[in-house]
Amino acid sequence: MNSIVIAIDGPAASGKGTVSKAISEKLKFHYLDTGKLYRVIGAKYLEGHEPISVAKNLKTDDLDNYDLQKPDIAKAASEIAAIPEVRASLLKFQQNFSRKMPGAVLDGRDIGTIVCPDAKIKIFLTASLEARAYRRYLELQKTDKELKLETIIDQIKERDERDKTRSSSPLIAASDAKVFDTSNLSIKEAIDHVLYYIQTKI
């Protein structure tokens, strides 16, 4: 028997992390935030390490050693994510994770298109730039009161652009993904909509 794979992709701050985690808990499936893999490599890159060799030697322990939410780490993650050798090194790890029984939820940018093209359920979560930036602003305000909304809008816009236009596995909805726009939904509503859709498929 194969595991049930739920692929959840979308741009920065679209709510995919919160939704994916809630769904994995509800269904008792394993959960992998694949952005974390790229963020750890980004963090090590900022410390002067060579991203391709870090990606080749990545250990799961590394994932808990950094404050991965910092904007400079997000930017570095998006930069190193454009390197094909980095992506190739992470592919096997993600695919092995997706085989965990009884099922796995993976969120990222290319799960439905490249990592798990045969996933039973594919979801693409999106929201307007302003809605996404405001969510990230509220989150980051807890630790950095000086941060301006305009700065976050610019950072997310730049990251979206890089993630969508890179030649290796760009951010794009799989042709068979169900698209949800969460701009006007609360977190609870977004989770409920996605969960309802998943329940109709399994």
Q: Which of 39, 44, 122, 132 is close enough to bind ligand DC by CB under 6 A?
A: 39
Q: Which long-range contacts (CB under 8 A, 24 or more apart) does 164-167 make?
A: 164/11, 166/81, 166/82, 167/82, 167/84
DSSP per-residue string spanning 80-111: HTT-HHHHHHHHHHHHHHHT-SSEEEEEESSI
132 binds ligand DC (CB under 6 A): no
Q: Binding marks (x or -) toward ligand DC, 55..74, rule CB under 6 A?
A: -------------------x
Q: From the list 126, 163, 191, 194, which residue makes contact with ligand DC (rule: CB under 6 A)?
A: 163
CB of residue 120 vs ligand DC: minimum separation in angstroms? 18
Minimum separation from the CB atom of position 132 to ligand DC (A): 10
Q: Which of positions 78-117 make contact with ligand DC (CB under 6 A)? A: 78, 81, 108-110
Question: Cβ closer to ligand DC: 109 or 122?
Answer: 109
Q: Which is nearer to ligand DC, 38 or 45 (CB)?
A: 38
Q: Which is nearer to ligand DC, 118 or 196 (CB)?
A: 118
The residue among 64, 66, 44 whose CA lies nearest residue 55 is 44
Minimal distance in Å, beta carbon 200 to ligand DC? Answer: 25
- Cβ neighbours of residue 72 closer than 8 Å, sequence gap 6 or more: 46
**CB neighbour list of residue 30: distance below 8 Å, 6 or more residues apart:** 24, 97, 100, 103, 104, 105
